[in-house]
Amino acid sequence: MYIKTIILSLTLFLLSKIGVSQTYSPETVLIATSYGNITVKLFNETPQHRDNFIKLVRENYYDSLLFHRVIEGFMIQGGDPDSKHADSKKFLGDGDLNYTIPMEYVPSLCHKKGMLCAARNSDDVNPQKASSACQFYIVQGKIRTDEDLVSFEKRINQGLLTKIKTDYLAKPENKELNDKINAFKKTQNNDSLMVYFKKLNEAIQIIYENEPHFKFSEEHKQIYKTIGGTPHLDSQYTIFGEVIEGLEVIDKIASVGKNKDDRPLVDIRMWIKIIDQK
């Protein structure tokens, strides 16, 4: 049994490194909490996020701020400047500094458990996916199946699919198809509507397959099926570091009691410092 445990641990470690080409910055960062310590390394491939985070840590910006949003099976989030002296009933998550950081997307990185990522405003007000200057989250996630990953790929590519559909129906040669769909919608003729929706979806799928679109690599699929994470966030948020020690602390924080806004019922404060620079 002991040998099997060692083999399993080694397998998971090797899977976590598959297909990963990023390098660590010299700094090692310690996130201290009342639930234990989390040790983090930052990626050189996301230099603007790396440098900004190091700058804030050196300024002691994060000291005594809260992990203000925790969702078990998803992530733990902190860094809101309004959280330091917040009343226990105050909604948190809207605080920020007076700048953003351009997204730094690195295709070789995925949202596996333990990844350090930048929070941001939603696409409707932030189509460029620029990151918050200070708020971050650490992925907890969970193990995923092949079916999950297929569903998440469709979710990530939904914007592209919508655009293909709109462009296709706007073409003059497809006016009859568009008119029939609208007419059947109006008369609620669902049987006929499904026939024409099938024709439309088949056409869209052909175009979609020939357009550049997001797909999980085989390496990332294996990571999500063994280590776990939050696949639907890939390509949507900047990943700029990862936990090298303290994954169990993430689990502890994620499992605490919380209110309807996912704020922990007991304040969980952080103190962040650089503990090594080689």
Q: What percent of the chain has pLDDT over 90?
A: 82
Q: What pLDDT shows up at residue 145?
A: 97
In order, the DSSP letters of 103-171 are ----TT---BTTEEEE----TTT-TT-PEESS-EEEE--B---HHHHHHHHHHHTHHHHHHHHHHHHHS
Mean pLDDT taken over the chain: 92
Residue 9 pLDDT exceeds 50: no
| CA neighbor of 110 nearest in space, from 29, 220, 211 | 220
Which has more confidence, 145 or 1?
Answer: 145
Q: What are 144-161's pLDDT values in tens digits?
A: 999 999 999 989 999 899
Structure tokens at 264: 């922990």
Residue with tokens 């559909």: 165
Average pLDDT over every residue of 77-104: 97
Which has more confidence, 242 or 10?
Answer: 242
- With vertex at residue 233, the alpha carbon angle to CA 23 and CA 201, rounded to the nearest 5 degrees, is 130
Residue 196 banded pLDDT, cuts 50, 70, 90 = confident
Give exposure, 86-103, as e/b (b: 16+ Cβ within 10 Å): beeeeebbebbeeebbeb
Residue 192 pLDDT exceeds 90: no
Residue 131 pLDDT exceeds 60: yes
User: For residues 100 and 132, is the Cβ–Cβ distance under 8 A?
Assistant: yes
Q: What are 34-70's pLDDT values in tens digits?
A: 999 999 999 999 999 999 999 999 999 999 999 999 9
Question: Based on C-alpha coordinates, what's the Rg of the chain?
Answer: 22
Q: What percent of the chain has pLDDT over 70?
A: 92
Number of Cβ within a 10 Å radius of residue 178: 15
Q: What are 92-110's pLDDT values in tens digits?
A: 999 999 999 999 999 999 9
φ, ψ dihedrals at 48, nearest 5°: -70, -40
Residue 2 pLDDT exceeds 90: no
**Cα 259 off chain centre by:** 22
Residue 21 banded pLDDT, cuts 50, 70, 90 = low
User: For residues 166 and 203, is the Cβ–Cβ distance under 8 A?
Assistant: no
Q: What pLDDT shows up at residue 117?
A: 98
Average pLDDT over every residue of 80-102: 97
Residue 122 pLDDT exceeds 90: yes
Give exposure, 198-230, as e/b (b: 16+ Cβ within 10 Å): eebeebbeeebeeeeeeebeeebbebbeebbbb
Residue 19 pLDDT exceeds 60: no
Residue 136 banded pLDDT, cuts 50, 70, 90 = very high
Residue with tokens 């490194």: 17
User: One-letter amino acid identity for 45?
Assistant: E
Residue 27 pLDDT exceeds 70: yes
What region does 262 belong to: left with phi over 0, alpha with psi -120 to 50, or beta? left
Residue 7 pLDDT exceeds 70: no
